[in-house]
Amino acid sequence: MFEKIEKFDKIRVWKGEKTGWHRYTYGIAGEMFFRKLMEKKFVAGKCPECERLFIPPRIYCEDCFVEIKEFVEIKELPRVYSFTFLFKDLEDNLLKEPEIVVFLKWDNIEGGLIHRLKEVNIEDVNFGLVVEPVFKEKPEGNINDILYWRPKK
Ligand SMILES: [Zn+2]
C-alpha cells in the first residue's frame, strides 16, 4: 500500500554532510556521457542493429539485445517535452519565484533529460520549445555541469 504524501516534511531525508554511502559509478555509457558533457558536448549511444540513438547513452539495446559500443555526438538541441512548475522547496517553503522543471527530448532520439529551465517567462514555456544549455564555467563531470536550459537564442 502506498500512502499519499501531503507534506514534504513527512518524507525522511538525509541532510548534512555527504557520508559516502551513496556513491555509485555512472557505468561505461554514463561515464562517456559525462566526459563529453565536460567538453560541453552531448553524446548518444547508437544501437548497431536498429540504429536508434539513446540519451542518456546505454550499453545495450533492450529491443535488439545487442551491446552498444558506438557513441555519437549530438549537435541538435532538444525540445521541451513536458514541464512543471515548483512553487515550494523540499521544506515546504514558498520559493521567491517558481522553478521550472522540464523533461527534454531530442528529435529521433530515445530517452531524454530532466533539468531546470530559466531565462524564460512562464507564459512562454510550452511543449516543443527548443532550448539550449547554459554550462558551468568549470565542469566537474556531472549533470549540474549544465546550470540550466533556456530558450534557444
Ligand atoms: Zn536496437
In a domain, residue 4? The reply is: no
Q: Output the pLDDT for position 8.
A: 56
Question: Strand, helix or coil at 123?
Answer: helix
Identify the domain containing residue 51 by its residue range: 23-151
CA of 53 to the centre of ligand 1 (A): 9
CA of 31 to the centre of ligand 1 (A): 21
In a domain, residue 45? The reply is: yes
Q: Output the pLDDT for position 54.
A: 95
Residues surrounding ion ligand 1 at CB below 5 Å: 47, 49-50, 61, 63-64
CA of 144 to the centre of ligand 1 (A): 29
In a domain, residue 3? The reply is: no
Rounded distance between C-alpha atoms, residue 47 and residue 38, angstroms = 24
In a domain, residue 109? The reply is: yes
Rounded distance between C-alpha atoms, residue 81 and residue 75, angstroms = 18
CA of 64 to the centre of ligand 1 (A): 4
pLDDT tens digits, residue range 19-55?
A: 444 555 678 888 889 999 999 999 999 999 999 999 9
SS3 of 35-55: HHHHCCCEEEEECCCCCCEEE
CA of 30 to the centre of ligand 1 (A): 18
In a domain, residue 7? The reply is: no
In a domain, residue 28? The reply is: yes
Give the chain's domain count.
1
In a domain, residue 14? The reply is: no
As a whole number of Å, the end-to-end CA separation of the chain is 47
In a domain, residue 132? The reply is: yes
CA of 42 to the centre of ligand 1 (A): 20
pLDDT tens digits, residue range 95-142?
A: 999 999 999 999 999 999 999 999 999 999 999 999 999 999 998 888
CATH of the domain at 86: 2.40.50.140
Tell me, rounded to whole angstroms, the distance of Cα 62 from its chain centroid: 21
